[in-house]
Chains A and B, each alone.
Chain A
């Protein structure tokens, strides 16, 4: 069986240096009584692809917002190895979140622009990021001229243009059709192979989480908490043959079982 529980992942940690990021008993309470997240502990290592999988309302987005520093934990701590600065993080939201008044290239330029870099100086990096997501021909287009999937790619290009240590993705493909989603899943893995970034990915979909990740963190709601961690021990690169393999099916079954545990039936 290639499925392992938390203990093994911790064992793997011994071989690695200190985690890139660690959450230590992090809780978040809204309005004094709504426990969105309770005692979440998670170590994110360099090169991990972690999926947060769970039913709606289990605190996945809350966890991402805490990691991104957009809100602060009610208790517990979040530690970045070697501190955190502005270029460490790339974020992709569920919506593409592009500026409609700016061209594709200008949108990708945004993280650099906010750090005072001129467009001309960053032209090479921007083109490179757009080429990585296959949109080099659309640099001068406006977001409204693109399809949903293409907008999402722009959003991804923007997240990785600064070469961040960690990329956070909150259900980036949830609004897309099955075919486009498969395509973008493949592309995302190819991208990761090329630039070797660390990703924390939120999803509702068991299949997506198994296909993409090396570790699946299964969460439950009310209160939002981590109940299982499932390691997907299958080598990258993964492609269509992995998607149709018996191994993949077995992983999906196991993750489903964990998820049903989470929902409580």
Chain B
């Protein structure tokens, strides 16, 4: 009797498992498919609105025309994309160096932190569009001015996250380092920096998007002079000429760039943390 019972119970469990597997597969598929369906529907709706209302293409171009512009203007647009990408990337680099450097100084010296932290906050909360014109008055080089703009926007999340990370190393581990007579440098190198890494990477992902915003604002304010025109400047220029399809094309490229930057930084984060950090570890299910 007992044997028959267990034999009957086994397939029930299997079915449960199979159902779970099916649900997982459906969820994996849905993650890609659902946004795609929404996208197609939105584009279709956009196209229909243009047609139903007879909207001229210099007000709202149909999606087909935008796609065509993307292709026809590809040389101009690609050049502009590279310029904006370069500004963004350099700004992010400077933001990382500046943010991490300041964070280390803040944790090494209480007085330094007390003196300068408020100004870091002020720099962060003042809208960049309000400062940017001044920057380009005082700084001759357009490139350096742009970098400064993007840096001001992007460094703060790196700074505040890294500072938090450097301070959040496990207390017992810190005691252990004291017991073994670790120097300041050893403590920083072997304990605080590794402990801060996940926090830093979180800040970096935010800073990536902000660096792009900073670069775009800087381009709007600075114009081209000497640097060549980036995507944001292309938008500005095209809108003056009522070349709205190109505005849309450039806009799509900026958005795509933002998404790619975010994905690249997420991948970097995953690669660096996958061995040990909770956030990157796949749970057995």
A residues neighboring B (CB under 8 Å): 65, 68-70, 86, 89, 91, 93, 95, 97, 99-102, 110-111, 113-115, 142-144
Contacts and interface: CB of A to CB of B under 8 A. Distances in A.
Given A114-B182, A142-B276, A99 B281 contact: no
A70 B178 contact: yes
Interface residues of B, number: 21
A143 B194 CA distance: 15
Interface of B: 170, 172-173, 175-182, 186, 190-191, 194-195, 197, 275-277, 281
Given A70-B175, A91-B176, A144-B281, A99 B181 contact: no
A68 B175 contact: yes
Contacts of B276: 100-101, 142-144
Contacts of B170: 97
A99 B276 CA distance: 10
A163 to B, nearest CB: 14
A68 B178 CA distance: 9
Given A68-B179, A100-B277, A114 B190 contact: yes
A102 B190 CA distance: 10
Contact of B179 (A69, A101, A143, A144): A69
Nearest to B181: A86
A91 B191 contact: no
Nearest to A88: B179
Contacts of A69: 178-179
28 contacts: A68-B175, A70-B179, A86-B180, A89-B179, A91-B175, A91-B176, A91-B179, A93-B172, A93-B175, A93-B176, A95-B172, A97-B170, A97-B173, A99-B194, A100-B277, A101-B195, A101-B275, A101-B277, A110-B176, A110-B190, A113-B190, A114-B177, A114-B180, A114-B181, A114-B182, A115-B180, A115-B181, A143-B276
Given A68-B175, A142-B275, A142-B276, A110 B180 contact: yes
